[in-house]
Every structure is written in C-alpha cells, then in structure tokens.
Structure 1
Amino acid sequence: MTGNLVAGPKLWSRRKGTKLLEAPTSTTEAAQNQSEHEFDFDVAIVGMGYVGLPTSLAFSAAGARVLGVDASPARLDVIRSGRADLVDSDRERLTQALAEPSFELTSDPSRLSRAAAVIICVPTPVDAYLVPDLRILSQACQTVVENAVSGQLLLLTSTTYVGSTRNLLATPLAKRGLIPGSNIHVAFSPERINPGTDSFAHEDVPRVVGGITNSCTEAAEALIGTYTRLVHVVSSADAAEMTKLVENTFRAVNIGLANEFADMANSLKLDVMEVINAAATKPYGFMAFTPGPGVGGHCIPCDPHYLLWQMRRLRLSTPVIEQAMNAIAARPGRVVDRIRKILSDRDKSLHAARVLVVGVAYKPDVEDLRESPALEILESLIEEGAVVAYHDHLIPSLRLGDGSVLEHHADPAAFDADLVLMHTAHSSADVSWITPEVNVLDSTFRLPHASNIINL
C-alpha cells in the first residue's frame, strides 16, 4: 500500500499545550496544493456512549483538545451533569474534563470540520432477525464524510463487517476529492472498552490499527499512541476489522461451550464451576469461560452476526460459529424452561406463579440493558401468565418489547416470590434477604451452595 504523506493531525502530549507530533509532510504536488486547516480540536468523538465517552476521557486525560459529538442532546445533558454510567476511574476523569475548556460537547455535526482527527464510536446492533442493522453506523459515517476536510484523520472503531471502512468512508470521501493517503487519512482501530470493569486502564490496553494506505496506518498509530502504551499495526483496515470479529466470536463460541458444560454437569449432578475452576489451574492451553443465562450488550450477541452475514453472501459455511450463536440466542428460553420445571417439581404451574428476576442489566455493575437476556426472559414469563417483577437498584425502570414498562421492585422480600431468578449479580447488590426459605434459580453460578439454591 502506498500513499502520499501530507500534514497529519496535530496531536498533543500529556503535558497540555505541548505538541507531540506531526506526520511528515510530502513535497508532492497534491500535498502542496491542499488547503491548510487550523484545527480547534485534536480529536472529535462521534457517539458519546459506552465506548465514545471513555475514549474521549482517555484522550482528554492525555492532554488532547476533545470535542464530543452526539445526536442526542439528552445524552449530552447526562454527561454534563456527571450522571453517566462509568467506572470510578472514568468518573474522576469526567469531573476533570468537564472543568477544562479544552473539553466540549455538542450535537452540531458541522463542528467536526474543526477537529484534526474524527473517531466514530457508534453502536452496531442486529435486528430481531439477527441481521446487522447498519443504519446508525451508515448515518454516522455519512455525517463524518459530509463534514470532512483535507488534512484530517478519520478513524472508525465500531465493530462491523470486513470492508466497512473502505465502503463507508474511503469510497464516499474519494467522490468528494478527498483521497485516503493523499489529502486525508482513513483507518480502522477496533474499540477495546469493557463497560463496568476497571481492571485495565485505557493506556494499558493494546490497540490494533490498520489503514487504507500505509500513511493512513501511520497517522492512526500516532493518534492512538498519544494515550495508549502499545499499538499493534496490521496490514490493512480490513485486517483490523477482522481482528475485532475474531476477538468477539472467540468469546461467543466459548461462552456457548461453557453453557453446554453447565447443562451436562447439571445432568451428571456435578458442580460446573468446581469443574471449570479445576480446569483453570492448568497454566497453559486453557482459558476459563463461565456459563450464564445468555449474553447481552452490543458485542458478543451481535458482532459474530456481522461475520456470519458477510459469509452467507460469500456462500461460505461456518457451522461452529452458527451453532454457537444459535445456542446463545436460545439460552433465555432454556432459563424459562428451567423455571417451569422447578415450579412443576413443586406442584406449581408457571401460570400465576410469582417470579422475581434479580438483576436485569446485561452484566454486573453496569446500567446497561442492551440485548440483556433478562428482557426476553421477563417477556416470556409474562406471556406464560406468571406474575413477574424485577429487582435491580441500577435500573429504575425498563421497557419491554410490547411497550409496557416495569419498575424496579425496591423490596424483594416483600414480593413473596414462588421462585427467584438470580440473573445478574451486581457487586453492590444486597442479597441478605435471600434466606433459606427463598427458592432461587441461580443463573450466575455465583451464589454459595445451599439447599434452597439451584444452579441453572
């Protein structure tokens, strides 16, 4: 890959106001004739959600001038108020960033032209038929292209199909006369944000980058390198896109396998977590995955479907991935079946039974309901005629697929449930009300063994 180097994005070091680097300038005619832009911001982040906001805070902490862009004024108000769902370290960074004049928030996309680099961090969900829903991503890329100017770096981080950076950014930019590697840079660097987990600082998580041309890759590597310690360069944007699909598909397949082992262990009267923990003592060749009620968020239940969707078009069979994703999709139904059987064994019909779901977020310690298995479980229980409530101090209310709204049941003991489903175990949740008289189906496999607690 080749490309004429031009003046790249002016980046700033962790010492505020100190210029860190500039991409080398070519003496080619294309570079000489390009219009020069003085940028007000080092980086603009498009999409201030669970990926975009932490990313913007990492850049701000590194000393960059940051513009956060989101189509939702309500979301920006939440961020300005400091009420955004963040881990503690990022919450501290948000407080610091909001006090800095170099950190701004806007819903005006025209201001993207004032940023040396633009990073796209928007959701890439699937629809009810598990088909990739590209509307949000396509609109975001279109907006970025319409406001792009020469000398910028445009970096896509949203997980998507292989070739999307080229199709959604490079090709439409070229139609505007902005040629990647000549008078603009375009690259892909998959996000690596783990919501609700503070185990790894942003600067300690290696990032992968791949550009449309070599110079695009160099510009992206320089940008990401301003806040993270290790950048791994791959040969192309396509390779970087595939990297993210491999990461999350690997997790999906192994979670599906862990769920199968849980079912087998249950049939064999074994404790699956005892077995998994024992296997995990092997120092090589094994990585522990744990079972659960299903998979939520916009990564594991969604990302592999972008790969499957693309492979179907190429008529390539992917049976391992397909079976794993089918099993993951069926897991909430498996939970409802277990609830029905447990009640039946106690001479109780699911119809009119009182079922309390504890924890409805898709993972512990986040205020995030996206693709949460709890939603499907609640809907199925209601359809079966059960009397249903949920208890989750991080989720004050939720809306089901039929438009109905459920409110957090603040006093779980007072619900007098026939069966409690432990769906999500928040570290800050009080479970002292679970006495030996409370019957529990534990789909988290985290509660201590007791006669009243049954593992999924």
Structure 2
Amino acid sequence: MNRIPGSLLEKIQTKQSLIGIIGLGYVGLPLAIEFCRAGFPVTGFDIDDKKVALLKQGKSYIKHIDSSRIMANGSRFSPTSDFSKLSDMDCIIICVPTPLNKNREPDMTYVFGTTRTIAQYLRKGQLIVLESTTYPGTTDEDMRSILEETGLKAGEDFHLAFSPEREDPNRKDFSTSTIPKIVSGYTEKCLAATRALYDSVVVKTIPVSSTKVAEATKLLENIYRAVNIALVNELKMLFDKMGIDVWEVIEAAKTKPFGFQAFYPGPGLGGHCIPIDPFYLTWKAREYEFSTRFIELAGEINTNMPYYVVERVGQVLNTIGKALHGSQILVLGTAYKKDVDDQRESPSLRIIQLLKKNGANVIYHDPYVPECRGHRHYPDIDMSSVALTEEVLKKAHITLLLTDHSLYDYAFIERHAEHIVDTRNAFERNGIKSKKIYKC
C-alpha cells in the first residue's frame, strides 16, 4: 500500500504519468492544454464524437481557445470517445456538467454516470479527481461508494480527490495556470498525490483538510457573487422607481477605498456556475433540516430579472403607443457575458422565450453565436443571427441590448435604432447618451 503513492508521485514528478481528462468543454479543454504544455501525455475523453473529430484535426470549437493551442500540443494530446482507455490512465480528472433539473435540484447524472464508467476500468494506483462543482459529500460519500463497489478501497488501492475548477472564459488577467487551485483528498496520501499533480501546472495550490471543505469553498465563491448580484439587481428595480440611476450610485460608492466591492446589475445570471451552484447547497441543506433563506432569496431575485426586463420593454413600447404583441424586437447578444460564445444558462434565452410567449417578433444578432438552438430548457428557440445592418436596426421597434460585446459599434447602433433598452449600461460606458436609450 505504501508503494502506491510513491510510484504515482514519481510518475507525476517525472511527467511520465498518463493524464485522462473526461469532458472537453470550457473546463476540461483548457486544463488538457495546460497539462500538455507542462509536458504530460494527455488523453481527452468526450462522448461528443464531433468534438473529438475537430480536436483530432487540431481545431477548437471554443471561441477564446485558439486552434493554434490545440495544434501546438498535438503530439501529447489524444482526444477519444473510447472510454476503455481509462484503464491506461494514471490520473483521471472529471470535468463534466452539474446542471439543475426542472425542479431546480441537482442533476448528478453526468458525475455519477462518469464515475460508474471509471469504475468499469478502475485499477490499483490510479488517482481520481472531481473538478465539477457540487454539494459537500459528493466525492467522499457518493463517488467513493460507487468506486468501492469494485472491491478496491479509496485511500488504500486508489486515490480520490476534489479540486474545484475556477475557470472564467475569456478572462485576460488570469488563466487556468495562473489561478490558485484548491486541492483536497480523501486521505493525506490522496491529497499529496493531488497536490503534486496540480503543482505541475498551476502557479499555486491551496490544500484544505477534506474534500467536503473544498466542495464548500467552491460553493461559497459562487454564492458570494450570486447574493451580491441579487442585491444590486434588487436596488436597480427600486432605484428605477425612485428615478435614481443605479449605475451612477455604484460608480460613486466604489470610490470608497475599503469596505465596498462593486457588483453590477444585469438582465439575469448566466454561465454554468452562479445561476446553478447555490442551489446545490440549498438542496443539501434540507438533509440537515436547515433552510438557506438568504441564498434562496438571492436566487429568487436573480431568476426573476428576465421578467423585469420584458416588463421594461413593454413599458418603453407603451410610451411610443405600441403593444408588446406584434412588435419587432432586435436582441443584441445571446451569450451569457461579453466577448464569449458561451450560452450556458444565458438570461438572453429566457428573455427571448418570454418575449415570444408575449407575441413579440424576435430576431437577434450575436457576433460569436451564429446559431441559437439545441438548448434543453429552451427547445422552442430555433434562430440564426441576423446581420446588424442599418435596415435591421430601423425596422426594430426596440433594440434590446443583453450582452455588451466589445465588437459592437455602439455609435452605429444608436444612430440607426429607433429605441434602445440597455440592460448593461453599455452605451453610456462608451460615451453615448441619447433620449432614445432607456436603461434597464
């Protein structure tokens, strides 16, 4: 037993360990690139054969990951959909989605399904690391139970760990390798192996005492943001009724050099983390007969923001003698944040759905999202991005800015649009003020 961690540590330290990464999306693919760049042989596993085919050709399907980064590591990187190769891996890292189901409860299908697949090929000496955000207890209780059905024991025959991802797509000041990484393990030996693995590719690792602490840390990071965004979203709605510009208030408040951190309102929360992760803790809290009222209130406010946006659009239409039903609405941006092609949990999708249900004719433009379809919660949305021309802007009764992409020519839009509803304060930030612009 004592020889197992030593053997694995030696392989990691000499970069001879075979790294397997399951899930080649916004978390798994950049992680695979970093391990390749550090000199490790990496096998990337994904059930999507189209992704695997593109990667084999050296092509990226994620906007902010240039294909040159795939091609540069081609000799070390082997994408595949053949999961039987898991038996060859020394370290297996799980980067699969953890969404919510229709009742806003954790959908652990991907994590547990992946764990069962790993169990089919599990062998002594392997390290299994979960990176997907989840509730405390997932790793050392649920995953361990599945893996130990093989007869192998965690901490004795194989290593088990949790190290939460901290990706922020297209961020310029931090990358996968420069963001400090939380690491944990089921046992001290599991932790030692995990820390050695990530020390090879990230600037700093922060060990914590248990996998539950690491799981809770990731949740705290995202709940902190969700609650503060809910606060400014609620203030935005209140200040709007009071005739106060919430954006000006925030700019003034953030001049205080201590005790205040600026958060900004928007049309709702997007991305895979903040709209989802808090509900993993609220769900788990029920097991302890504890009500997480603060988190649930924040979730309620943020979830209702798309309804507020649609109501605001209706108010603006009323001022020009138009009803929402039958009006032409041009949506600018379906990605969840600026300058990415990521539509996961984008509030734009819910807003488009609500506008359509209210009888509006909706079209959209997004320079990074040519097609908007195939979303499991929005099967009725099947659209293609239109060209952002003078004619398109003039025909729209309302131009609704939902994603403040840097590529947008805000002066051109303001010049030709009839009426603009701006949910991001983008026009004023670009030095454009006009009576035809309505803040939301």
Per the shorter chain, which TM-score range? over 0.9
Q: Tell me which protein shows more helix as a share of its residues.
A: 2
Could you tell me which residue of structure 1 aligns to residue 43 of structure 2? 67
Could you tell me which residue of structure 2 aligns to residue 213 of structure 1? 187
Q: State TM-score, norm by structure 2.
A: 0.93
Identify if the C-alpha distance between structure 1 residues 141 and 250 changes in structure 2 by more than 3 Å, giving closer, same or farther: same
**Counterpart of 1:127 in 2: which secondary structure?**
coil
> Structure 2: which 5+ residue stretches go unaligned?
none
| Aligned counterpart in structure 2 of residue 93 of structure 1, from 58, 69, 81 | 69
Measured after TM superposition, the shift of residue 262 of structure 1 is 1.7
Could you tell me which residue of structure 2 aligns to residue 453 of structure 1? 437
| Aligned counterpart in structure 2 of residue 332 of structure 1, from 306, 312, 326 | 306
2:223 equivalent to 1:249: yes
**Counterpart of 2:214 in 1: which secondary structure?**
helix
Structure 1 residues 46-445: aligned runs within 5 Å: 46-81=22-57, 82-87=59-64, 91-98=67-74, 100=75, 102-399=76-373, 401-415=378-392, 416-436=395-415, 438=417, 439-445=419-425
> Structure 1: which 5+ residue stretches go unaligned?
13-18, 23-38
CA distance in 1, matches of 2:315, 2:298: 24
**Counterpart of 2:322 in 1: which secondary structure?**
coil
Could you tell me which residue of structure 2 aligns to residue 31 of structure 1? none
CA distance in 2, matches of 1:409, 1:45: 37
CA distance in 2, matches of 1:52, 1:231: 18
Measured after TM superposition, the shift of residue 216 of structure 1 is 0.5
CA distance in 2, matches of 1:333, 1:146: 46
CA distance in 2, matches of 1:334, 1:429: 24
Q: Counterpart of 1:435 in structure 2: which amino acid?
A: E
Asked if the contact 2:5/2:193 (under 8 Å) is kept, the reply is no
Q: Counterpart of 2:350 in structure 1: which amino acid?
A: E
Asked if the contact 1:255/1:290 (under 8 Å) is kept, the reply is yes
Q: Counterpart of 2:408 in structure 1: which amino acid?
A: A
Measured after TM superposition, the shift of residue 11 of structure 1 is 6.5
Could you tell me which residue of structure 2 aligns to residue 16 of structure 1? none
CA distance in 1, matches of 2:234, 2:388: 34
CA distance in 2, matches of 1:167, 1:78: 36
Q: Counterpart of 2:390 in structure 1: which amino acid?
A: A
Deviates most, 126-135 or 39-48:
39-48
Measured after TM superposition, the shift of residue 263 of structure 1 is 1.8
Asked if the contact 1:5/1:182 (under 8 Å) is kept, the reply is no
Measured after TM superposition, the shift of residue 414 of structure 1 is 2.2
**Counterpart of 1:435 in 2: which secondary structure?**
helix
**Counterpart of 2:396 in 1: which secondary structure?**
coil
- CA deviations over 1:376-409 (Å, ceiling 9, x no partner): 1111111111111001121111126244511111
Asked if the contact 1:353/1:386 (under 8 Å) is kept, the reply is yes
Measured after TM superposition, the shift of residue 116 of structure 1 is 1.0
Asked if the contact 1:123/1:137 (under 8 Å) is kept, the reply is yes
**Counterpart of 2:309 in 1: which secondary structure?**
helix
Identify if the C-alpha distance between structure 1 residues 153 and 9 changes in structure 2 by more than 3 Å, giving closer, same or farther: farther
Asked if the contact 2:12/2:196 (under 8 Å) is kept, the reply is no
Measured after TM superposition, the shift of residue 363 of structure 1 is 1.0
CA distance in 2, matches of 1:361, 1:9: 45
Q: State TM-score, norm by structure 1.
A: 0.89
Between the two proteins, the alignment pairs up a number of residues equal to 429
CA distance in 1, matches of 2:150, 2:79: 27
Where do 4+ consecutive residues of structure 1 move more than 6 Å? none
**Counterpart of 1:368 in 2: which secondary structure?**
coil
Please, what is the CA RMSD of the aligned residues?
Answer: 2.0
Q: Counterpart of 1:260 in structure 2: which amino acid?
A: E
Measured after TM superposition, the shift of residue 453 of structure 1 is 1.1
RCO (CA 8 Å, sep 6+): is it higher in 1 or 2? 1
Q: Counterpart of 1:445 in structure 2: which amino acid?
A: N
CA distance in 2, matches of 1:312, 1:194: 30
Percent identical pairs in the alignment equals: 38
| Aligned counterpart in structure 1 of residue 13 of structure 2, from 18, 21, 39 | 21
CA distance in 2, matches of 1:306, 1:440: 37
CA distance in 2, matches of 1:194, 1:9: 34
Asked if the contact 2:410/2:427 (under 8 Å) is kept, the reply is no
